[in-house]
């Protein structure tokens, strides 16, 4: 595959001018070391074509042999898993009774790892999967006979640790814990995983074991720190990638403006339509391609549209249409396995996938990678792009920009992107909502003692007292036990904050999906339009007490947007600094959000149909926020008066939220914002950006650390946008509860420029 030629074919005709930057990524040669392992292992490795170790594999194995916990963070397809596989085999050679736990974020990765382990044909390793798909009889066999249990955090949390007596022999012999795809364990999910791993260490110690840890991760900015915060132990980081890498041609693609758009707020063609056209174009050239999308629905739409394009044009394309598929969570296991098999064998020419295929599932060599929207972080971008070009041949990567501030900033600042180091992953195991949950689970498993603070941190005593005050713990001398008949683990959703709302088709009782409790009033209120697998449903009712939303199929030619009112009050200031001429603060805030109505807009034209009132309960949230204040002198310098200040601050807030992923590994939906011309707690114009999770998730703190840099890129992104009054590329937000009103694009630029003029 000639990537330059393939790109020229794509960027012709109607797509001329869409390529705004091309970067040639040079290849990297291998740096390896002799295969220093036991003779039996060496024989088995050579049978698989492995006769030397890459430098990072050898370094990781040496660190483990020296008794240190190790975090290996290198590029996609760099053989990170071989470090913990060899550690497992050497452990079993030294002690055949030893056991290991492998922790993966998804079931598909567990299946893939089991295949790789079995390929070694190492008889001492009795590996088996223990997850939600494992049957009852098989579970009993795993507990009694396996010495490598492959699972996920969910099953460890609810199916292993609360039943630790059944696992006593296994835990007594536990010598190794593997955390693979560690970069996925961040935010609230990662904070919960930290609590689970601390509970695992505590139970292992109860049975007399002290396992070592090996973590593997895509390239991130803080692998040793993240691993340490997850496991509560010190780690050595191995980041010097010694594997060979093929060169790449990396293109930035900005979709053309829609000719029917409002000239004052121009809109670009969607990344979904562009990705489908590029996927079809590459399939026509017999280029094996993976297209990453941001949602399950987008994956389905890209694959379907690409098949339609291939099936309705020149002769010969129809056969190729059958070689394009989609891949996402929600498929049956056998459906996912079939797509993986066809992709690895070369039968598929193209696949549209969610991030499920971003992770380390072996899908063979691919020629090209399309990103339908910036994935949100430098780390995720390189992780996905690394799925193509696994052989010696050069590969093509194309980033198709969304019409939002973050994507437009990235494609208009290519030098900064290619020079930017990977972001740091954030977890906060001390978040009281997370900590209380896992101290309660620990008390159910074993009585909690004062010395358990060594596992859960200095906040353990306060967590215990809060649980006791709520009647969930009771004292027995110096120990505290769970005060309930059943354990708490099943009621704690570790992948989201709060409860999960189940979405049910009322006429059939069929469960369609789930939603976070926090988002449900905005997306599942009565009258809302809900999309599932490309099908449209109208919401009839939402019962937040029962955590159920009832929906029915709908053909209504409109979509809905919630309208809300948010109030924020400062509870405590924890840190202070300066961002240019603006005082900058970080601390606890109380956020109240009230969904008061929704609007209906026509599909495609976005024409406003009407506004409907709602009477939804007020949601209160104690979380953490970053905020800055602007005094009257700076406002005057920015030529902002009482009438124009709200629109300028609102526009600056929207753009800052959209650019948050530049500084923390998060999604814009993970954070919220409030701006006001005069806040009662500060007495000044104030802009808040807060974590959208109880207790915080660490994202706002990263913005506080970035300080003036966050404001600078916000100003540059707004100023560089070609629109006149504001658009989705700069200051419009898809989640704005006020319908993107008022917004003053020019005022936001003047406001931020005045703040930064030190």
pLDDT at 361: 59
**Whole-angstrom Cα Rg for the chain:** 26
- The DSSP code for 169 is H
- pLDDT at residue 330 greater than cutoff 90: no
Asked if 521 and 593 sit in the same domain, the reply is no
Tell me the per-residue pLDDT of 54-103, one tens digit each, with 9 for 90 and over. Answer: 999 999 999 999 999 999 999 888 899 999 999 999 999 999 999 999 99
C-alpha distances (whole Å) from 79 to each of 54, 211, 242, 364, 546 are 8, 23, 10, 14, 46
CA-to-CA distance for 611 and 599, rounded, in angstroms?
A: 4
Over residues 14-37, the mean pLDDT reads 93
pLDDT at 606: 67
Where a domain ends, among 238, 259, 278? 238
The larger pLDDT score, comparing residue 223 to residue 258, is at: 223
- Comparing CA positions, the residue from 549, 553, 525 lying closest to residue 538 is 553
- pLDDT at residue 197 greater than cutoff 60: yes
Assigned domain for 305 exists: yes
CA-to-CA distance for 212 and 366, rounded, in angstroms?
A: 35
In a 3-state reduction of DSSP, which class is residue 479? strand
Token digits of residue 242: 């010694």
Over residues 104-121, the mean pLDDT reads 89
What's the domain range around 527?
500-556
- pLDDT at residue 433 greater than cutoff 60: yes
- C-beta contacts of 491-498 below 8 A and 24+ residues apart: 492/157, 492/192, 492/437, 492/441, 494/153, 494/154, 494/157, 494/189, 494/192, 494/193, 494/196, 495/154, 495/188, 495/189, 495/192, 496/188, 496/189, 497/188, 497/433, 497/692, 497/693, 497/694, 498/694
Asked if 63 and 145 sit in the same domain, the reply is yes
pLDDT at 329: 57
Where a domain ends, among 434, 469, 491? 491
What mean pLDDT value characterizes the chain? 90
pLDDT at 532: 67
Asked if 384 and 472 sit in the same domain, the reply is no
User: Any idea which of 93-107, 173-187, 306-320, 558-572 has the lowest mean pLDDT?
Assistant: 306-320
- Confidence label for 328 from pLDDT (cuts 50, 70 and 90): low
The larger pLDDT score, comparing residue 658 to residue 346, is at: 658
Over residues 228-249, the mean pLDDT reads 95
Assigned domain for 277 exists: yes
Assigned domain for 27 exists: no
pLDDT at 107: 84
Q: Phi and psi for 71 in degrees, rounded to 5?
A: -120, 115
pLDDT at 314: 52
- Comparing CA positions, the residue from 624, 587, 640 lying closest to residue 752 is 640
pLDDT at 336: 67
The larger pLDDT score, comparing residue 358 to residue 455, is at: 455
Give the helix, strand, coil percentages of the chain, each rounded to 5.
40, 25, 35
- pLDDT at residue 22 greater than cutoff 70: yes
C-alpha distances (whole Å) from 543 to each of 228, 550, 616 are 40, 9, 10
Give percent above pLDDT 90 in the chain: 64
Q: Phi and psi for 661 in degrees, rounded to 5?
A: -60, -15
By the 10 Å C-beta count (0-12 exposed, 13-18 middle, 19+ buried), 571 is classed as middle
CA-to-CA distance for 469 and 511, rounded, in angstroms?
A: 37
Tell me the per-residue pLDDT of 706-723, one tens digit each, with 9 for 90 and over. Answer: 999 999 999 999 998 888
- Comparing CA positions, the residue from 532, 526, 566, 575 lying closest to residue 548 is 526
Helix axes 81-94, 55-65, angle to 10 degrees: 40
- pLDDT at residue 356 greater than cutoff 70: no
CA-to-CA distance for 595 and 612, rounded, in angstroms?
A: 11
pLDDT at 9: 94
- pLDDT at residue 364 greater than cutoff 70: no
Token digits of residue 239: 């980041």
Q: Where are the alpha helices (DSSP H) in 638-707?
A: 645-658, 699-706
Q: Phi and psi for 7 in degrees, rounded to 5?
A: -70, -40
Assigned domain for 274 exists: yes
pLDDT at 367: 92
Give the domain CATH number at 207.
3.40.50.300
CA-to-CA distance for 76 and 97, rounded, in angstroms?
A: 33
Assigned domain for 191 exists: yes
Burial readout 253-272 (b: 16 or more C-beta within 10 A, e: otherwise): bbbebeeebeeebbbbbbbb
Asked if 78 and 173 sit in the same domain, the reply is yes
Instruction: Tell me the residue ranges of DSSP E strands in 228-285.
Output: 236-238, 248-253
Where a domain ends, among 525, 540, 556? 556
Assigned domain for 162 exists: yes
- Confidence label for 360 from pLDDT (cuts 50, 70 and 90): low
- pLDDT at residue 732 greater than cutoff 80: yes
- pLDDT at residue 313 greater than cutoff 60: no
Tell me the per-residue pLDDT of 594-633, one tens digit each, with 9 for 90 and over. Answer: 999 999 988 756 678 999 999 899 989 999 999 999 999 9
For residues 114 and 133, the answer to whether their CB atoms sit within 8 Å is no
pLDDT at 506: 93
CA-to-CA distance for 292 and 276, rounded, in angstroms?
A: 11
Over residues 535-557, the mean pLDDT reads 91
Over residues 285-300, the mean pLDDT reads 86
Asked if 670 and 692 sit in the same domain, the reply is yes
For residues 664 and 699, the answer to whether their CB atoms sit within 8 Å is yes
pLDDT at 233: 97
Asked if 612 and 741 sit in the same domain, the reply is yes
Asked if 104 and 200 sit in the same domain, the reply is yes
Chain centroid offset of residue 250 CA: 23
For residues 101 and 177, the answer to whether their CB atoms sit within 8 Å is yes
Over residues 442-466, the mean pLDDT reads 96
- Confidence label for 425 from pLDDT (cuts 50, 70 and 90): confident
Over residues 521-547, the mean pLDDT reads 87
Asked if 618 and 739 sit in the same domain, the reply is yes
Over residues 631-637, the mean pLDDT reads 96
CA-to-CA distance for 469 and 457, rounded, in angstroms?
A: 20
| Distance from the first to the final alpha carbon of the chain | 52
Asked if 340 and 469 sit in the same domain, the reply is no
User: Any idea which of 22-26, 140-144, 398-402, 601-605 has the lowest mean pLDDT?
Assistant: 601-605
Over residues 683-696, the mean pLDDT reads 93
Residues 6+ apart with CB under 8 A from 740: 654, 726, 731, 732, 733
The larger pLDDT score, comparing residue 341 to residue 165, is at: 165
Asked if 617 and 672 sit in the same domain, the reply is yes
Asked if 295 and 340 sit in the same domain, the reply is yes
Count of domains forming the chain = 5
CA-to-CA distance for 512 and 299, rounded, in angstroms?
A: 17
- pLDDT at residue 531 greater than cutoff 80: no
- The DSSP code for 525 is S
Assigned domain for 334 exists: yes
pLDDT at 171: 98
Asked if 510 and 569 sit in the same domain, the reply is no
Assigned domain for 439 exists: no
Residues 6+ apart with CB under 8 A from 373: 271, 293, 294, 400, 401, 402, 407
Tell me the per-residue pLDDT of 119-164, one tens digit each, with 9 for 90 and over. Answer: 999 999 999 999 988 988 999 999 999 999 999 999 999 999 999 9
Tell me the per-residue pLDDT of 484-497, one tens digit each, with 9 for 90 and over. Answer: 878 999 888 888 66
- Say how many C-beta atoms besides its own lie within 10 A of residue 747's C-beta: 25
pLDDT at 664: 80
């Amino acid at each position: 595959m000639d990537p330059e030629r393939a790109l020229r074919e794509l960027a012709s005709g109607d797509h001329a001018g869409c390529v705004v930057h091309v970067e040639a990524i040079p290849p990297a040669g291998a740096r390896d070391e002799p295969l220093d392992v036991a003779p039996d292992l060496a024989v088995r490795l050579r049978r698989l074509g492995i006769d030397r170790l890459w430098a990072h594999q050898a370094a990781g194995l040496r660190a483990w042999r020296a008794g240190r916990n190790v975090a290996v963070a290198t590029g996609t397809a760099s053989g990170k898993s071989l470090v913990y596989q060899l550690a497992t085999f050497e452990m079993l050679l030294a002690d055949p009774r030893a056991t290991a736990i492998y922790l993966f974020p998804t079931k598909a990765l567990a299946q893939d790892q089991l295949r790789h382990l079995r390929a070694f044909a190492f008889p001492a390793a009795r590996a088996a999967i223990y997850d939600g798909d494992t049957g009852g009889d098989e579970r009993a066999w795993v507990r009694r006979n396996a010495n490598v249990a492959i699972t996920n955090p969910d099953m460890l949390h609810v199916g292993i640790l609360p039943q630790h007596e059944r696992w006593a022999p296994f835990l007594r012999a536990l010598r190794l814990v593997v955390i693979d795809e560690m970069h996925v364990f961040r935010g609230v999910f990662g904070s919960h995983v930290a609590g689970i791993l601390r509970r695992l260490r505590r139970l292992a110690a109860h049975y007399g074991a002290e396992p070592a840890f090996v973590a593997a991760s895509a390239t991130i900015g803080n692998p040793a720190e993240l691993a340490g915060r997850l496991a509560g132990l010190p780690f050595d980081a191995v980041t010097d990638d010694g594997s060979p890498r093929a060169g790449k041609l990396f293109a930035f693609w900005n979709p053309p403006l829609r000719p029917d758009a409002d000239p004052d707020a121009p809109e670009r063609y969607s990344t979904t339509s562009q990705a489908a056209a590029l996927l079809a174009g590459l399939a026509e050239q017999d280029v094996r391609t993976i297209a990453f999308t941001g949602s399950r629905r987008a994956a389905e739409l890209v694959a379907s549209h690409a098949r339609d394009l291939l099936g309705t044009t020149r002769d010969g394309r129809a056969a190729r249409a059958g070689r394009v598929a989609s891949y996402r969570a929600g498929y049956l296991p056998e459906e996912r396995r079939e797509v993986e098999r066809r992709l690895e064998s070369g039968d598929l020419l193209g696949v549209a996938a969610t991030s499920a295929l971003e992770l380390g599932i072996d899908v063979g060599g691919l020629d090209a990678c399309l990103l339908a929207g910036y994935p949100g972080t430098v780390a995720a971008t390189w992780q996905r792009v690394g799925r193509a070009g696994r052989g010696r041949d050069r590969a093509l990567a194309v980033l198709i920009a969304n019409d939002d501030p973050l994507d437009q900033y990235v494609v208009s600042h290519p030098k900064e992107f290619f020079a930017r180091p990977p972001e740091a992953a954030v977890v906060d195991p001390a978040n009281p909502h997370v900590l209380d949950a896992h101290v309660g689970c620990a008390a159910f498993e074993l009585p909690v003692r004062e010395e358990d603070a060594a596992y859960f941190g200095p906040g353990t005593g306060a967590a215990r007292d809060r649980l006791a005050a709520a009647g969930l713990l009771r004292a027995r001398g110096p120990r505290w036990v769970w005060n309930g008949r059943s354990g708490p683990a099943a009621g704690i959703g570790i992948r989201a904050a709060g409860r999960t709302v189940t979405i049910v088709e009322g006429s059939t009782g069929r469960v369609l999906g789930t939603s976070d409790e926090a988002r449900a009033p905005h997306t599942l209120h009565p009258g809302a339009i809900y999309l599932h697998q490309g099908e449209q449903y109208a919401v009839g009712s939402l019962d937040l007490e029962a955590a159920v939303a009832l929906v029915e199929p709908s053909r209504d030619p409109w979509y809905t947007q919630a309208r809300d009112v948010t109030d924020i009050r400062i509870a405590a200031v924890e840190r202070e600094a300066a961002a240019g001429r603006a005082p900058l603060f970080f601390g606890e805030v109380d956020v109240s959000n009230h969904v008061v109505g929704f609007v209906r807009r026509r599909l495609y034209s976005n024409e406003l149909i009407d506004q409907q009132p709602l009477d939804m309960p007020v949601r209160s949230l104690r979380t953490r926020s970053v905020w800055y204040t602007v005094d009257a002198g700076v406002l005057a310098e920015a030529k902002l008066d009482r009438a124009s200040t709200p629109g300028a601050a609102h526009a600056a807030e929207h753009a800052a939220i959209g650019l948050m992923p530049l500084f923390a590994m998060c999604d814009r939906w993970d954070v919220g914002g409030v701006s006001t011309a005069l806040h009662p707690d500060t007495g000044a114009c104030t802009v808040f950006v807060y974590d959208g999770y109880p207790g915080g998730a660490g994202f706002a703190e990263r913005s506080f650390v970035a300080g003036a840099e966050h404001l600078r890129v916000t100003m540059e992104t707004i100023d560089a946008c070609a629109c006149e009054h504001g658009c989705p590329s700069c200051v419009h937000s898809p989640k704005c509860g006020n319908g993107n009103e008022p917004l003053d694009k020019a005022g936001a630029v003047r406001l931020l420029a005045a703040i930064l003029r030190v």
